[in-house]
Each structure stands twice: as structure tokens, then as C-alpha cells.
Amino acid sequence: MIERKTPIALDPDDLVVHVGAMRKRHIRSVLRIEQQVYPRPWSAALFQSELALRDTRAYFVARVGHTLVGYSGLMMTLDDGHVTTIAVDPAWHRSRIGTRLLLALAREALARGATALTLEVRLSNQGAQALYRRFGFEPVGVRRGYYQDTGEDALIMWARRVQEPAYRELLASHERQLPGRTVFETRRVITSTDDGPSG
């Protein structure tokens, strides 16, 4: 992720971010970000097909007011939760949108019985890797030539023992450190945070 400041003069402590389930009506805004962030963006049809697989998929969007600023996806395979995508509008980097989206994914995976989380990330994407490490992901291997657009290798990362209380406390700690207010509107539970930044 290339980090840039938000285009508006907004104090992070005043930020209110809603994170909820992705719907078909969100796809146009999702594609706008997808085309900015990825060299080979997903199509509207692919997003629609993913949204239809409710038993094994979960997709979330982050909104500030009426503006969609990011989205994320999860695929369940037995008891493993696979992060399929996380993308944030470049204009909203450094607003901790990615952290909020990863929190939603991790909690959804836990609610679905996941005992581990996994993902692939470009070897060159140090910013994303740092975010994932904060969520307990550790590198375990490399997939050679995984990204077809450039032939770049992917780092495989796993977070294990995510059903243990220590991991739930890790998630709670990240949530407490978020600036402003976050409203999580998931299918299973609606929670909100109103804590300022702690560092």
C-alpha cells in the first residue's frame, strides 16, 4: 500500500467509519478503488459471484459518510480463513481503514469457527506485511510467480491459534487503539468503538 493523507482536513479523532457487509449496490464504488489499486482488477461479475457464495465467503466495506473508502474479503476452507483481498482508496491511506477491515475479517472468521488465518501478499508490499504481522501473521513460505501481472512472488503468511483468548485480546487491543469511532455492522453482531489513539 502506498500511504497518502486523506484529501480532506479531518482530525483522525473526529473520523467515524462504518464497516458492514458488502452488497451488490456497493460494487460500482468497489470497482473504482479496485481499478486504482490493482494492475489486474476484478470484474463486477467476479464480485457478484463471490457475494453469492454466502456459506464460504464474507465481504465487507468501510464507509465514511456516504463515501466507500475500502473493502475486504474472506474465504473459508474447512477451519481456515483465507483473506482474499483488502483494498483502501489511496486518498484514505493513513486513516487505519485497513486495520478496521482486517478486524472485521478476523472476527467473521472466528465466528465461523476458523482456527487459523492465512493470506498471500506481494514480497514488495512491506506496508501490508507490517499490518498483517500486527495481527499475528507470520511468513511461512513463498509462492513463486504468484502475481500474473508482474510475475512477482507472494509471501505466504499464517496466523495460528486464533481461537485462543490471547488472539481475541489482540484484536480488542487493536480496536481500542483506533482513532475516532468505528461502527462494525456485521451480520452477527453490531459493536462500536469510541476510543482515541494511544500512540
The active-site residue, picked from 120, 147, 152, 185, is 120
Compute and round to an integer the Cα radius of gyration of the chain.
16
Q: What is the mean pLDDT of residues 49-61?
A: 96
Indicate if the pLDDT at residue 5 is higher than 90: no
Instruction: For residue 132, indicate whether it is catalytic.
Output: yes
Q: Which residues contact 163 (CB under 8 A, 6 or more apart)?
A: 110, 114, 115
pLDDT (tens digit per residue) in 107-134 = 999 999 999 999 999 999 999 999 999 9
The active-site residue, picked from 34, 50, 108, 132, is 132
Q: What's the pLDDT band for 12 if we cut at 50, 70, 90?
A: confident
Rounded Cα gap, residues 63 and 21, in angstroms: 11
The burial of 105, by beta-carbon neighbours within 10 Å (0-12 exposed, 13-18 middle, 19 or more buried), is given as buried
Q: Which residues contact 143 (CB under 8 A, 6 or more apart)?
A: 120, 153, 154, 156
Q: What's the pLDDT band for 79 if we cut at 50, 70, 90?
A: very high
Indicate if the pLDDT at residue 80 is higher than 50: yes
Q: What's the pLDDT band for 39 if we cut at 50, 70, 90?
A: confident
- Are 76 and 117 within 8 A, CB to CB? no
Least confident of 91-100, 101-110, 179-188: 179-188
Instruction: For residue 120, indicate whether it is catalytic.
Output: yes
Q: Which residues contact 153 (CB under 8 A, 6 or more apart)?
A: 122, 123, 142, 143, 144, 145, 146, 147
pLDDT (tens digit per residue) in 129-179 = 999 999 999 999 999 999 887 889 999 999 999 999 999 999 999 999 999
What one-character DSSP code corresponds to residue 162? T
Which amino acid is it at 114?
A: A
The CATH-assigned architecture of domain 15-193 is: 3-Layer(aba) Sandwich (3.40)
Indicate if the pLDDT at residue 99 is higher than 60: yes
Q: Which residues contact 190 (CB under 8 A, 6 or more apart)?
A: 183, 184
Element (H, E) at 31: helix 27-37
* Percentage of residues of the chain with pLDDT beyond 70: 88
